[in-house]
Structure 1
Amino acid sequence: MNPYIILAIAIISEVFGSSMLKVSNGFKKMLPTMGVILGMGLAFYCLSLALKTIPLGTAYAIWSGVGTALTAIVGVIVYKERLHAKKLMGLALIIGGVVVLKLSSGI
């Protein structure tokens, strides 16, 4: 399987796990807590598989940058968090940085 598809699965799993943190109520609600454990476990497993091919710096930058941006978007859409100019600018900078790292990696 393409390592970037595996990395995408890692990112989506991490975003899911992070989103479940919000509703786990400090790990007091069992189902969301299980979502955190499963999401984060799958995320790290897939990240480890992607690292067999993708350089560490590139993979981690993509994983953390895209994961951060997607988690912020989930916060706005699902949890009705406020979206303002500073947040948009920060997200654009994160995505821009990931793109530059990807372009510089030669992969």
Structure 2
Amino acid sequence: MEDHDTGQEVAFLFGRRTNASFKRLLKLLAESDVTVSRWFTDYWWACHDLLPTAIHQAGKDQTQRIERKHLDLRTRTKRLARRTICFSKSVLMHDTVINLLINHLFF
């Protein structure tokens, strides 16, 4: 998740797109004392279930920058592609490399 005005990463979470994952993201935001005044999301149903409609806007028009950032991350993390020489079967190694990359790029 990023700050819309500054582009600064505020929180990130790995997991399936479920209500439980979104609740974990909300908990991370609450623990870091981040106040969200407006949510711009895609059409993920968990957001519709858990966010008040007054501060939630669904659509792709406000999510282009974060989608671009996700594409850059996928491109830079070649470890996730099976046909590369650096592929690892360990989930722990995948999470570690992705966390290190995100910390290096955004924090």
Range class of TM-score, shorter chain = under 0.3
Relative to total residues, which structure has the larger helix share, 1 or 2?
A: 1
Higher relative contact order (CA 8 A, sep 6+): 1
TM-score (norm: length of structure 2) = 0.28
TM-score (norm: length of structure 1) = 0.28
Relative to total residues, which structure has the larger strand share, 1 or 2?
A: 2
